[in-house]
Structures are given as structure tokens and as C-alpha cells.
Amino acid sequence: MIKALFPKLRIVGRDNVIRVLGDEEQMAKFESNVENMRKHILKFNSLKAEDILDIVNGQKTQDEIPEGVVVYSVSGRPVKARSANQQKLIDTYFHNDMVFAVGPAGTGKTYLSIALAVKALKEKAIKKIVLSRPAVEAGEKLGFLPGDMKDKIDPYLQPLYDALEDMIPAARLQDLMEKHVIQIAPLAFMRGRTLSDAVVILDEAQNTTPAQIRMFLTRMGWNTKMIITGDLTQVDLPREQSCGLREALNILEGIDGIGVVRLNKKDIVRHKLVTRIVNAYEAYDRERKTKNNSNNESINKD
């Protein structure tokens, strides 16, 4: 199709190299159009026949028309806010250097945060993305998992890999990870580092201790944005251990440069059953709390 659009040029494709012979002015136009196609693929992760026609004719492609899109998935699907609070998260990110995104499962906290980081990397606003999670056991023991330390830790980080794989083509993602442009590591590996020119995301922050989250927040360097996500209803810490995310919110909310976004069950974008499950557990928790309070009152009267 590209050859047909440039009939005066001799065009030969070999692997990832295109060789062109012909009039210099035509070759310059061809080079400019191919560069625009390359940029289109980097941004939208797809290149359709109609996109090629639009680019060659100097028009905007259909992908460029929609507003509010953060990035495009590898399948070409636009990633954007799907609720008012998700849009608030995006706006808060652009107006603050540190953002706390707190809400129940399925509200898109992690996915949207990683989309914002990928956008910044593609636009060369930063040099690297650093993703971290506390490796806290949710009813399972690390020691019983097979393999070395990396094999034991990777299952905890899999949701971060999943989101990245949805937004960056596999070969490109592998290359970025090998070059440490994208880094995924347990929270314990953050100690002693200063993170500059980066978007740094701490996921599942409700499972951090006060000391851990304090250590993480002080890793911030120049030209860095931090996003801290968590769900205060799903704390897997031992009962006697304080929740670092809850303490950090109490201490830091209201400080200039730090934004807090609270998502709720109305923002859940997973299967409709997730909303029903969240509602059922909330009702159960309220009932249990009421029962415990009435039992305590009875004991006090006795």
C-alpha cells in the first residue's frame, strides 16, 4: 500500500530497514511520512490502512481525535478515565508531585497510575518508571513457594506486569526492562535509593508499615512524581501492626504538592459482580461492628 502511494519511488523492505531510491524531494516526503507512521505506532500501538492514508494526506488520524485519552493499549484501545473520580486522579497527578489514590478493588487505581507513568515515559518527560509493592503474605507463606527469591517475589508483582503488558508491546517492554528503564521491585529493595527523573508507583500501600512507607516517600528525587495506591479495607498486615498508609494519610493530607483522591464503589470498572461483592462485605462489616459494640456495652453494664 505504501509503495502504491509513492509510485515514483523504488521502495524495498528488508527486515526493519526500508531502502528508497528516486527523486530527492519525493524521498524527503516519504521519510517524513514514515517517521509520522512510526510515531503513530509508538503512541497508539497500532497502524491501520486508513491511518496510513490520513498520514500521507497530511490529515489527523481517527485515533488522534478522541479527547481525554491517557495512552492506548497494545490492541489500540484508548485508556482513559471512566468515572468522575478516575478523572480526578488524572487531574490531581498533573497538579501535584505526590498523589495518594485510595479505594476498593477494581476502581482502576493501579491501572490508571501505570498508564500515566507510561504516558510520561513515551513523551520523554521522565527517564524511568519504578513500580513497587510490599511483599506481604495474604494467607500464604513466602517460604513455601518454590524457587529462588525472585521466583518467590514475582507472584506479588504480577499485577504490575499485567498492566504494563497491556500498554507496551512485549518486545519493547522486555527491552525497557533489560535496560532498567522500567523497574519492578519489592518495597524492601527501595532502601538507600534516590529516585530522580521518574514516575514511582507504590501499589498495595495498605500493606506497608509506618516505617516502610516513610522510607519509600523519602526516596523522592528531582523531577519525580510519586503515586501511592491502596485499599484500606484489605489490610493483610498482622493485627497488632499499624497500617502505614492510614498513618501517612493522617499526617500528609493537606500539605501543598500532595494530592489525595478517594475512589469508591461507584468507580469500580471490573465485572459487575465486583461491585456486589464489595457491597456485601461492607454490609457484613457494618453488621459485625454493630454486634461487637452491643456486646461490649453488655459487658460494661455487667
What is the residue-wise DSSP string for the chain? Answer: -HHHH-TTSEEEEETTEEEEES-HHHHHHHHHHHHHHHHHHHHHS---HHHHHHHHTT---GGGS-SSEEEE-TTS-EEE--SHHHHHHHHHHHH-SEEEEE--TTSSHHHHHHHHHHHHHHTTS-SEEEEEE----SSS-GGGS-SSHHHHHHHHHHHHHHHHHHHS-HHHHHHHHHTTSEEEEEGGGGTT--B-SEEEEE-SGGG--HHHHHHHHTTB-TTEEEEEEE-TT---S-TTSPPHHHHHHHHHTT-TTEEEEE--GGG--S-HHHHHHHHHHHHHHHHHHHHHHHHHHHHHH-
Q: How far apart are CA 85 and CA 94, in angstroms?
A: 14
CB 227 within 8 A of CB 199: yes
Determine the pLDDT at residue 148.
54
Determine the pLDDT at residue 299.
58
CB 108 within 8 A of CB 202: no
Determine the pLDDT at residue 65.
54
Determine the pLDDT at residue 140.
43
Q: How far apart are CA 221 and CA 194, in angstroms?
A: 6
**pLDDT, the chain, mean:** 84
pTM above 0.85, yes or no: no
Name the grid cell of 286: 457494618
Please state, in angstroms and as integers, the Cα–Cα distance from residue 154 to each residue in 149, 185, 294, following that order.
9, 9, 44
Q: Is the dihedral of CA 246, 81, 44, 65 positive or negative?
A: negative
Q: Nearest 5°: CA angle at 110, between 231 and 214?
A: 60
CB 259 within 8 A of CB 99: yes
Determine the pLDDT at residue 175.
93
Determine the pLDDT at residue 141.
47
As averages over each run of 10 residues, the pLDDT of the chain (302 residues) reads 87 87 89 88 79 83 71 84 90 95 89 94 92 66 52 73 89 91 85 90 91 92 94 84 92 93 82 75 81 65 58
Determine the pLDDT at residue 62.
66
Q: How far apart are CA 293 and CA 86, in angstroms?
A: 35
Q: How far apart are CA 225 and CA 127, in angstroms?
A: 12
